[in-house]
Structure 1
Amino acid sequence: MFQKIIHNWSFIRFIRLILGIFIIIQSVQTQNYWMILPGILFSAMALFNTGCCGSSCSVPLKNKKND
């Protein structure tokens, strides 16, 4: 599980993490606490490299073929 968090970071994964943290910070600043849940969702999706459907709709990694 630790390897999944550390490896294969992409641009979209960084964007999701930044968006999740931004949503959490903004919801605390505006005292709109129910919006913390979507912020946690976006942050968790980025950390665990999953999509909204879980890992079933993720793009498979490229495999090297021996010719």
Structure 2
Amino acid sequence: MKKLSLQSWNIFRVLRLVAGIAILVQAIIARDILFGIAGLWFTAMPLFNIGCCATGNCYTRTKKITEPEKEISYEEVV
């Protein structure tokens, strides 16, 4: 878990962490429990590198699969 939390930090992960902390601080100032839970969630996501695309769930293939070329025949329409 420690390795997962400390590796592969990028600017978007840092921005998500800052946004989560800002939500958490605002929840403390407003004394709003539901907002605090959302702040904890948005702070935990970048800390533990979880989310939609963090674990490679949105992976797309980079190698293009080529189909065998078919010969196309045309007929002249008169």
TM range (shorter): 0.7 to 0.9
Q: 1:58–1:40: structure 2 CA closer, same or farther, 3 Å change rule?
A: farther
When the two chains are superposed, the root-mean-square deviation of aligned CA atoms in Å is 2.0
Task: Name the counterpart of 1:39.
Answer: 39
Q: Between Structure 1 and Structure 2, which shows a larger proportion of helix residues?
A: 1
- Matched positions, count: 59
CA offsets 1:4-44 (integer angstroms, 9 cap, x no match): 11110011110111111110100110122210111111111
Select between 46-55 and 16-25 the one with higher mean Cα deviation: 46-55
Task: List aligned pairs for 1:2-13, cutoff 5 A.
Answer: 2-13=2-13
Query: If the length of structure 1 is used for normalisation, what is the TM-score?
Result: 0.73
CA distance in 1, matches of 2:5, 2:23: 21
Larger radius of gyration: 2
Runs of 4+ in 1 over 2 A off after TM superposition: 52-59
CA distance in 1, matches of 2:53, 2:7: 20
Query: If the length of structure 2 is used for normalisation, what is the TM-score?
Result: 0.64
